[in-house]
Amino acid sequence: MRVDRHREEPGFGGASPRLRREFPALAHKTYLDTACIGVAPLRAVRAVTELVQGMQYCAGESGTQMHGRLNELRDSARPLAARLIGAEPGDIALVESTTHGLKIAAESLPLNAGDQVLMPDLEFVQMGLVWRQLQDRGVGVRTVPHDASGGVGVDAVQALLTPDVKVLALSSVQWTNGFRADLAALSELCRQRDVWLVVDAAQHLGVLPLSVRQTPVDILVCGGHKWLCSPFGTGFMYLAPRARPRLRRPIAGFFAARPPARTWGEAFERMDVAPLQECEFTDEAYAWETGGTGNFPGAVGLSAALSLVLELRPERIEAHVRALTDYLAEGLDRLGLGMAGPLDPRHRSAILTFGTGRAATDVALMRSLLASGVAVSVRFTSGVGGVRVSCHHYNTFRDIDRLLEAAEEWQRRPQRTRRPDNGTRHGSALAAQARIGRQRALIDALDNDLMNLLSARDGVSRSIRVSRLHGGMPRTDLAREREVVERFHDRLGPNGTRLALELLRMSQGDT
């Protein structure tokens, strides 16, 4: 089952050679599991590496200066997140994860005993867990049952919006079958009923467009490690300006308050700083952050990853992914594998789930796909789910072909041997091929790291040469070069000596 060659290059440039260079590991891997965790782009890895190397080599005249620079780098993620959803930077708080954001939302909403939270029964377990922990305050949780198509309609929600329901909490895209909620209609309904609308957009942002100007919500949370492809545990939370005055303030650290000087570093140089002094908290969303030392590597990784999504533009990413999932749906239909998600284009997302009708068989199929080098998952909730495929901007029609071919090959096996490790020579060859592909992807990633380190080393060597020339010293320091050669020889033997000499030769360019 092969796709026409002209379909290999999507119109918006997605999965083009330029984009694929951001994801070197995917040259030898069919990765269709972004709904679990995204692949970090090269620019995000470089941003994190440069930050950590700066810490390693004390890239600042003092710790105070370095800490201030780290705060500035972390803050740079807010305007990018704001652009993604049509908000303002002051509406954005940085959080550790979707769970962290939901926890802040639950603690901040002014809920009282007898109030109810309404949520679909398709939600991820964490959505239920965070609201159930309000039971000791007398707050209850109710679910909206899904329909036969695996969706939760606006009418079903409206029917359960009784006067005691104060919060509608839901994922804009459901994690098991990819059902995409009619967020605009639900937003209008909540505004009419004066119900708080809390949205988990972890399976939405980065692959589908969303504007909080066009579709108002009160609180939106999104972890960065899925469709945003941020390499570390971080994400962001949107708090609507109209909502913030009514929200409780969490207990926060001093970084969530306005410094009594231009910066906290300058404030600590004053004699009037004391542990019980009054702190003034801003009305902006960052006042809802933890306020301690932040996840700086995560924030710079998130910033770099967001920059890629914004360059590609969510509307174009969605069009590319829609073409891939349409092609996949056609192929699954030919194979007789049933869809477990919505067929209506209005409720489709980047997640497409299919199944065999039995959970155990779905797991066997998934394991066979994994052995063939095709990364997918099996997910179920409230009886809905199956083999989950999640396509992103870095995926191609060739990736879909590989999945369909591997699924078809699995179907042709006798029932009793439908396992990835069935002992046949063909099965062993497939597993070995997939393993070699993963190992080659790792080598490619390591090679990229080596090239980045060589570039960084060359830059430092150039700076040293300039400093020596300005100081009237000889261009090279032979004693220092001998130290370098000896260090490499001690660690790597004769190969280390040759490598050190080549590195020294490379670093003796023009100043």
Greater pLDDT, 363 or 461: 363
Provide the β-strand partners of residue 454. none
Question: What angle (nearest 5°) sits at the alpha carbon of residue 391, between those of residues 386 and 396?
Answer: 130
Residue 213 has pLDDT above 50, yes or no: yes
93-118 per-position pLDDT tens digit: 999 999 999 999 999 999 999 999 99
Tokens 């090279």 appear where? 476
Question: What angle (nearest 5°) sits at the alpha carbon of residue 17, between those of residues 16 and 20?
Answer: 85
Tokens 């509608």 appear where? 168
Closest among 188, 194, 191 to 166, alpha carbons compared: 194
51-78 per-position pLDDT tens digit: 988 888 777 788 888 888 888 899 999 9
Q: Are residues 291 and 319 in the same domain?
A: no
Q: What is the DSSP string of 454-472?
A: HHHHHHHHHHHHHHHHHTT
Tell me if 40 is assigned to some domain: no
CATH number at residue 457: 1.20.59.10
| Overall size of the chain counted in residues | 511
User: Is-contact 200 183, C-beta < 8 A?
Assistant: no
Residue 333, both tokens: 């239909």
Closest among 28, 344, 399 to 178, alpha carbons compared: 344
Backbone angles phi, psi at 11, to 5 degrees: -60, -35
Tell me if 460 is assigned to some domain: yes
Q: Are residues 177 and 60 in the same domain?
A: yes
Number of separate domains in the chain = 3
Tokens 């109209």 appear where? 242
Distance linking the first and last C-alpha atoms of the chain: 56
Q: How confident is the model at residue 48 (pLDDT cuts 50, 70, 90)?
A: very high
Q: How confident is the model at residue 471 (pLDDT cuts 50, 70, 90)?
A: confident
Please give the residue range of the domain that contains residue 171: 45-268+277-310
Q: Are residues 81 and 195 in the same domain?
A: yes
Tell me if 232 is assigned to some domain: yes
Q: Are residues 15 and 87 in the same domain?
A: no
370-396 per-position pLDDT tens digit: 999 999 999 999 999 999 999 999 999
User: Is-contact 281 249, C-beta < 8 A?
Assistant: yes
Tell me if 38 is assigned to some domain: no
User: Is-contact 130 102, C-beta < 8 A?
Assistant: yes
Tell me if 52 is assigned to some domain: yes
Maximum pairwise Cα distance, the chain: 83
Tell me if 511 is assigned to some domain: no
188 Cβ partners below 8 Å, 6+ apart? none
Q: CA–CA distance from 101 to each of 35, 147, 223, 419, 428 (Å)?
A: 18, 29, 8, 40, 45
Determine the average pLDDT of the residues in 239-248. Answer: 96
Q: Tell me how far apart the alpha carbons of residues 153 and 171 are, in angstroms, rounded to a whole number.
A: 13
CATH number at residue 324: 3.90.1150.10
